[in-house]
Structure 1
Amino acid sequence: MQDKASRVGNSTFEMQGGSLTAKNGGMFYTTNTESTIVLSDVTIQNAPDSEFLLRCTGNQNERGWGQTGANGADCHFTALEQTLEGNVIWDSISKLDFYLTQGSALKGAFVQDESCAGEGGDSYAQEKA
């Protein structure tokens, strides 16, 4: 039986205007949960050591977040009038819908990282511009 900290949840982050700054690491990381992220005309400042813009993957369960190989993310990311920089990392046990709309652009790559996917899965990452 999983403890409360390891149950699948649901999170939403929406921001319109203003600025968002990461002090270290990547900007957005979702694992073992369902996430909706919406950015509209937000100035993004990545950390100097940023490894990614978005990481949508399972994890190694070091902090009790689900079971390795079965703790992927389900993420719906939408950018409106955004200039984004950084890689988007995903794995086969996660689902990622990544929408660039209203003139948004991404300078980065989609990177598949199976390091926490166990036996893998049949999930997907799709970008729609």
Structure 2
Amino acid sequence: MTGPKLVSILRQGDWLIASIHTALDDSQMLLFRNDLVEQIGRHRSRGVVIDVAALDVLDSFGANTLRTIAEMARLRGAETVIVGIQPDVAFAMVSLGMDTGDVPTALDLEEGLAYLGRPTGARSRGRRDAAG
């Protein structure tokens, strides 16, 4: 018998919604990265939402891998937004000097999808977050 899924990747029109359901070790994070980037190409996705709401910790490798995924997605023609960073995780990231780089963030899935649905010009003017 297999355990619960660690991540799920769902297609919603031109977008992929990738939800991380539990903390991933480094090898699982790399498998997630490879699978997501492969699916971006297979589905010709224009946008990706990575939902990390279930995570109560995000280490530097995980944060770096999320930035790498976003850059790989961009090179494949898809924009990425990270959603659901918990307050304690955000506090720890700031305390440790970690960030999401140029990857936009949003409060939740609804705001992340709204961000991807905005006209391209609004995103290209330098807005980093979907909340404001």
TM range (shorter): 0.3 to 0.5
Greater fraction helix: 2
| TM-score, normalization by structure 1 | 0.40
